[in-house]
Amino acid sequence: MEDHDHIRARVRDLVARHDLAGMTQREFLGHRFDAGLAWVHAPAGCGGLGLSRALQPVVEEELAAAGVPRLNLARNPIGLGMGAPTVLAHGTDGQRARLLRPLWTGEEVWCQLFSEPGAGSDLAGLATRAVRDGDAWVVDGQKVWTSLAHHARWAMLLARTDPQEPKHRGMTYFVLDMQAPGVEVLPLRQATGQAEFNEVFLTGVRIPDTMRLGDVGQGWTVATTTLMNERVAIGGAAAPREGGPLGELMRLWRDRPELRTPGLHHRLLRLWARAEAARIGNERTRQANAAGKPGPEGSAAKLAYAGIAQDISRLHLELTGPDALGYDDWTFRRSEMTGSGEVRHAGFHYLRTRANSIEGGTNEVLRGVIADRVLDLPREPRTDTKLPWKDVPR
């Protein structure tokens, strides 16, 4: 209780010392970071106080009571959901001091340079090379499906540094300045008309060794931290009952009594029950994340989320009827955020949710993770995990 009281007093002091109406959200977030109230589990000076993660809800509760708007994770989803946990877990003091504050305030957006045209589901097969050159690394390669690369200042980059090693042991993890010479970002237009994804070409890009996360050759270990947090961020986010697209579907159902046929009622009830079970089950995922140990349960949460989101969008499309076919916003535009929350239209949601079973790990890969790490089933036979990467057929 002493820590709870200390946190409450610290939040109240933060609010009392700053005129919320007279500053931008970014300015207030900066003050919040400096007060150690961004993520209280982080070390002092890194936006935290070195306290238990379990105290973070106390911060949010006090801020809400003071009328501070709820933190909008969409302002920097990849940085907040994946970049920050990775830097906190594997970064040096200097890296934390340089990267975390502008990440938290949204001043510097992050993206993720993992997938490649020949290494999507099999990420460890990536071919982008990083070659040591004195106190820097020279990187050449291509990345794909990179959300928000057109806005990003920093990228989490996984590159191959030793082709003589097996594929999981020959990679190194870097933080790449997206403004560096040799970085080219090209849009990938989606079925919705948006271009939130990109392909990124890296040609002779130099990265100082000071921007390496973890040891040379230990990139897979660092990347696992990113991936586990990614799946929690996508599938395990806290949501109110009937929140998001499900809420829109339920409003449509209640507003149109003519839709309430026995068959549709049965489908809606089953979908509502699945969504509610997933929402309640996500509490365990969030508890594991709060303890600093995101694990395979994040894969289960993300897998459930993908199926439910697609089924909600399908039923919403059916219940909307011909009006759903009125979606015609095919104007090419560069999205400011990821996900389907930007446009509320049944046709848009249906098209956008097709990606849910691919992004953040395909459904097939996540089922393999669950089978291996949760159910302890025998692994599928593999012939490429012990071979030097250069000898693996591609």
For residue 219, the tally of other CB atoms under 10 A from its CB is 27
- Both tokens of 4, joined, read 């709870």
Q: Can you tell me the distance from the alpha carbon of 350 to that of 269, in angstroms, rounded to the nearest whole number? A: 20
Sequence-distant (≥ 6) Cβ neighbours of residue 13 within 8 angstroms? 35
> Which amino acid appears at position 30 of this protein?
G
Q: Can you tell me the distance from the alpha carbon of 343 to that of 29, in angstroms, rounded to the nearest whole number? A: 27
From the number of C-beta atoms within 10 Å of its C-beta (0-12, 13-18, 19+), residue 42 rates as buried
Q: What region, left, alpha or beta, does residue 144 occupy, with left being phi > 0 and alpha being psi -120 to 50 degrees?
A: beta
- Both tokens of 138, joined, read 């020279």
Helix (H) or strand (E) holding 308: helix 297-320
For residue 31, the tally of other CB atoms under 10 A from its CB is 15
230 is catalytic: yes
Sequence-distant (≥ 6) Cβ neighbours of residue 19 within 8 angstroms? none
Helix (H) or strand (E) holding 289: helix 262-290
Radius of gyration (C-alpha) of the chain in whole angstroms: 22
Catalytic residue among 116, 230, 248, 297: 230
Sequence-distant (≥ 6) Cβ neighbours of residue 94 within 8 angstroms? 210
- Quick one: which of 25, 1, 331 has its CA closest to 192? 331
Strand partners, 137: 132, 207
- Quick one: which of 327, 359, 358, 332 has its CA closest to 344? 327
Catalytic residues, by residue number, are: 230
